[in-house]
A and B are shown apart, each in its own frame.
Chain A
Amino acid sequence: MSALETSATTSPRASADRRVEVKGLSKSFQLAKTTIEAVRDVTFDVRRGEFVALLGPSGSGKSTVLNMIASLIRPTAGEILIDGKRVVSGRATPNVGYVFQRDTLFPWRTVADNIGYGLELSGVSARERKERIAECVARAGLRGFENAYPSALSGGMRQRAALMRTLIVEPQILLMDEPFGALDTHTKIDMHEVLLRIWEREQQTVLFVTHDLGEALTLADRIILFSARPGRIKDMFAVDFARARDAVKVRETPRYAELFQHIWHSLGEEFIKGRSA
């Protein structure tokens, strides 16, 4: 065990401080006649205001874990508590926002109407909605595209719009599934800046899925490393750079290189396994 590793499951803090508790979570899918074991016995906690990255190769069950936390699919075994309350699949938990891996902007709504969707649902007045949409549009750098339909946007713009659609309702727990996976490196780091500033201000609890180690190091307080299928927790790493971080400068520190090296090997093994699996 390296000194860099921490054991997150035995948090010394009070349980009230634990926002998300995942206990012995497993999930198998029945596909035709074969059973696919996607996730096996995953246990971890996320503290209030913590930024946790789930890192692992493709097919290691990261999205599946997030979907179970979001109540979209039912676990085969285990349970999930959010603020001490059990998640019931099929019933959305209030305060949880989800940015999907796949683009789910409504193609029949304009950018502004997509972003304002959550406010519309809760009956916020048109005037207030307009103000808050304008604020979000500005933050996402989408000015001038308010009345465009998603089909007229680039992939990066769509992803930013999707992020704002989730953030506008101010969820305190944010589940993000490779939200910047399809972006070029430059745009990605821009988005890291945007996200870091938002997170510093609002202090949401974030679970961020990625297979990009650099991204995980830039953003997270802690990295949970998933093994190749079936997804299990292979390792956890604390990322102890000072806050507030600068998405570009943090990459230039020696500490970043050190952590990168350390985790890289562990991750590399899983990628090789994932490929041969």
Chain B
Amino acid sequence: MRRYSTLGTIGWQVLICAIVLSVWQWGYDLRARLPWLVPDLLDPYFISKPSMIFDNFLIQSCLKSKLGVFNGWFNGEFAKCLTRNENNLWAATAITLKNTFFGFITGVVSGFVAGLILGRSDRLSAIFQPFITAVNSIPRIALAPIIVLAFGIGDMSKIVTSWIVVVFLVFFNTFEGARSIDEGFTNAARLLGASEWQITRTVVIPSTMAWVFASLTPAISFALIGVIVGEFIGAERGIGRLIIESEARGEASGMMIAVVVLMLVGVVLSAIIWRLQAYLLRWQRQRSAE
């Protein structure tokens, strides 16, 4: 692959952002003159405008009061604003992140363990095969209302929804990875005196890692989706709740703030996974790094 200069790449990226934001901000103003060019969708009633979104962001995050005055950090206005609104942007983000985190971790751990066990045992995988196929063909997100009904509108239902979408993803990847281990490696280990447990620890897990990591980036977005859908259906706090409230008020900028926050959260979490992968799977990269 040819290497393009980083500066050039960044230049293009900045340009693309500028174009998209400009169209978003001013595109609808052109409608008066060129009605055939501007689609209805650009109506700020639906998609708001970058400037309105930013303004609303400052208010929702308690950085600015509704009167348009900046809240002081030290005079207590900021703290007062936070306590006035239980589901302020910070609190909502924190709660959504927390539930995403628990859903993701429990999903990854249980999917990984189950995938390893079934992937290494022909007998168990034969027994569970039809059940797994059956459950896997349910669109898991369709279970969200049932889960909220069963676990209530608290955090638990969000974690469970998130868990159920993550666990299968990780399970299938781990399962495939454990099935496709090169027998040469397990034989070599066995002949060097490895017990079954040692083989699992030193051969099966490391060689399955690449497969597991391939599922983690989608898993983190799935975890987030699970939590948000759970919050749509019934919640008192969280970003999903913010979106629903803004929608009820017909306030596009409020929904857009939540969407942008979700995007940022997703990007940060993916970046963490990516860094972890680059470290744990560094053995895959040495050759290409020359």
Residue numbers of A with Cβ under 8 A of B are: 70, 72, 92, 94, 96-98, 100, 102, 104, 106-109, 117-118, 120-122, 148-149, 151-152, 165-166, 169
B190 neighbours in A (Cβ, 8 Å) = 92
A residues within 8 A CB of B185? 104, 106
Among A104, A166, A169, which residue has the most Cβ atoms of chain B within 10 A?
Answer: A104
In the complex, the answer to whether B286 meets A70 with C-beta atoms within 8 Å is no
Indicate with 1 or 0, residue by residue over B186-218, a CB within 8 angstroms of chain A CB atoms. 011111111000100011001101000000000
What size tier do the contact residues of chain B reach? 20 to 34
With A and B bound together, what is the CA distance between A23 and B187 in angstroms? 24
B283:A108 contact, CB within 8 angstroms: yes
In the bound complex, how far is the Cα of B186 from the Cα of A70, in angstroms? 13
> Which applies to chain B's interface (DSSP): helix, strand, loop or mixed?
helix
Are B184's CB and A102's CB within 8 A? yes
Query: Do the beta carbons of A92 and B191 come within 8 Å of each other?
Result: yes
Contact (A70, B207) CB under 8 Å given A100-B184, A102-B184, A148-B286? no
Contact pick for A121, options B198, B207, B286, B287, CB 8 Å: B198
Partner of B193, one of A106, A107, A108, A169: A169
| Contact, CB under 8 Å: A72 / B287 | no
**Does A121 contact B188, Cβ atoms closer than 8 Å?**
no
Beyond the given pairs A106-B185, A106-B203, A106-B206, 15 more chain A to chain B contacts, judged by CB atoms under 8 angstroms and listed by A's residue number, are A70-B187, A94-B193, A98-B187, A104-B188, A106-B188, A108-B206, A108-B207, A109-B206, A117-B192, A121-B189, A121-B198, A149-B286, A151-B287, A152-B290, A169-B192
How far is the CB of B154 from the nearest CB of chain A, in Å?
42
Q: State whether B283 touches A151 (Cβ < 8 A).
A: yes
How distant is A96 from chain B, measured CB to nearest CB, in Å? 7
Whole-angstrom distance from the CB of A26 to the nearest CB of chain B?
A: 22
9 tightest CB-CB pairs across the interface, nearest first? A104-B184, A118-B192, A104-B188, A108-B206, A149-B283, A151-B287, A108-B283, A98-B191, A149-B286
